[in-house]
Amino acid sequence: MTETILANATLILPDEVIRGTLRMTEGRISAIDHGSAVPAGAIDCQGDLVLPGLIELHTDNLERHIQPRPKVNWPHQAAILAHDSELASVGITTVFDALRVGSAVSGGGSEHGEYARAMADEILELRAMGALKISHFLHLRAEVCSETLVTEMAKFGPGDRIGIVSLMDHTPGERQFRDLEKLREYVCGKHGLSDEGFADHVASQRALRERVGPLHEATAVAEARRYGAVLASHDDTTAGQVAVSAGHGAHFAEFPTTPEAARACRDHGIRVMMGAPNLIRGGSHSGNVAAAELAEAGLLDILSSDYVPSSLLSGALLLGDLWGDMARGISTVTRAPAEATGLDDRGRLEPGARADVIRVARIGKGAALRGAWVQANRVA
């Protein structure tokens, strides 16, 4: 039996911060002791923060590795392994890899095609081989405004480690892109559409949503139940949209776009998740509500790194400083996402919990990872 001891550490416990020692044995946290003593054979953390491994519920990072530039496709196995290593290097020890289901096949372009089932197979195969450093689950992003959602979701089942299904509605003029000018900037900048091409895009997407929206919403909700996955809403903007999400049984809301929607989530008992890049940058790139505004109003429960993996740790520390409560700030990337997805074995430092643990050195208001352990095995 081997034991790893992190001593003389600033331990971020669920509700307090203490100076102490943490012991890891056979994949679990075996003991937590107070004090700054450094036992023989222990790692002297010299006051560094020791906290639970970070839990990421929504990340676009894998897509960046798969397609590092527009129309440049990278070998999937190499992309998955690079994604896995990058997350470990910034303290993320559990990830829900976001895969789009629902394609607009008549729109043309490789990014509109079906890919989720094949990608999931590759992730699960690498996991079964023991090739991945951290714990991977799947997050299916169900694109309501699409043509193939029903057939794509039917290809998945309860054995596919699907932890989250999120309801995505990117209909122009709704939710994230309620402001059509913001959408024009995004779509035309990314795809080089002319004004006429953008107008055609808006018209075709709205027509598609009108035709298949209700069926696709119902299908996504039913399939989430069949998989045994948690349901999340996405970009709720109004109290009415939140009420619909609550009726579907959403456990948490990804990136509500207005204070009204965030307050409605709280009223319905739905946890609010915001993007750490929004928090760190001081605002939303889409012109929606600032994460800091919701944090100051007590309406922010979970952070996601979204498109910048390193932002998860930085954002949680920023919240700890903002709230004057580091345990609360760290909970937004550990305990809260674990509870939102039913992972009751991780997300907190306490005896018996899974030994997913990270050591972090504060550098000014930021931080640097000094070590990461998954089930007591060092991965970074």
Cα 71 from Cα 144, distance rounded (Å): 24
User: Which pLDDT score, from 0 to 100, does residue 236 have?
Assistant: 95
Q: Please give the pLDDT value at position 374.
A: 98
Alpha helices in 112-228 (DSSP H): 116-128, 149-153, 180-191, 195-227
Distance from the first to the final alpha carbon of the chain: 22
pLDDT in tens, 196-230: 766 766 677 777 777 778 899 999 999 999 999 99
Matching residue, tokens 């992003």: 141
Q: What does the pLDDT read at residue 151?
A: 96
Give the integer Cα–Cα distance in Å for 353 and 30.
8
- Put the strands of the sheet holding 54-59 in their side by side order: 54-59, 92-101, 135-143, 162-168, 230-234, 252-254, 271-275, 302-304
Q: Which residues are within 8 A (CB) of 76 and not within 5 positions of it... i.e. 6 or more apart?
A: 66, 119, 122
Topology of domain 54-60+90-345 in CATH is TIM Barrel (3.20.20)
Domain residue extents for the chain: 1-52+348-380, 54-60+90-345
Q: What is the mean pLDDT of each run of 10 residues along the chain (380 residues)?
A: 94 98 98 97 98 97 92 94 98 97 66 86 98 98 92 98 92 61 58 65 71 89 98 95 96 96 98 97 87 98 97 98 98 98 98 98 94 98
User: What is residue 262's three-state secondary structure?
Assistant: helix
Contact 356, 373 (CB under 8 A): yes
The residue written with tokens 């990136």 in the block is 255
Computed over every residue of the chain, the mean pLDDT equals 92
CA 310 to each of CA 65, 184, 254, 305: distance values in angstroms, whole numbers, following the listed order = 15, 29, 19, 7
Asked if domains 1-52+348-380 and 54-60+90-345 share a fold, the reply is: no
Strands 302-304 and 49-52: unpaired
Nearest to 190 by CA among 317, 63, 38: 63
* Count of other CB atoms within 10 angstroms of residue 295: 22
> What residues contact residue 356 under an 8 Å CB cut-off, 6+ apart?
52, 53, 93, 94, 135, 346, 373, 374, 375
SS3 call for 361: strand
For 50, the enclosing helix (H) or strand (E) is strand 49-52
Q: State residue 108's pLDDT score.
A: 43
Q: Which CATH number fits domain 1-52+348-380: 2.60.40.10, 1.20.120.1200, 2.30.40.10, 3.40.50.300?
A: 2.30.40.10
Q: How many CB atoms lie within 10 A of CB 196?
A: 8
| DSSP letter string, 81-140 | HHHHHHHHHTTEEEEEEEEEE---GGG-SGGGS--HHHHHHHHHHHHHTT--SSEEEEEE
Rounded to whole angstroms, how far apart are CA atoms 359 and 380? 10
Secondary structure letter of residue 148 according to DSSP: S
Which tokens is 131 given? Answer: 């090739």
How distant is the alpha carbon of residue 185 from its chain centre? 25
How far CA 225 is from CA of 7, 158, 220, 229, in Å, comes to 43, 9, 9, 6
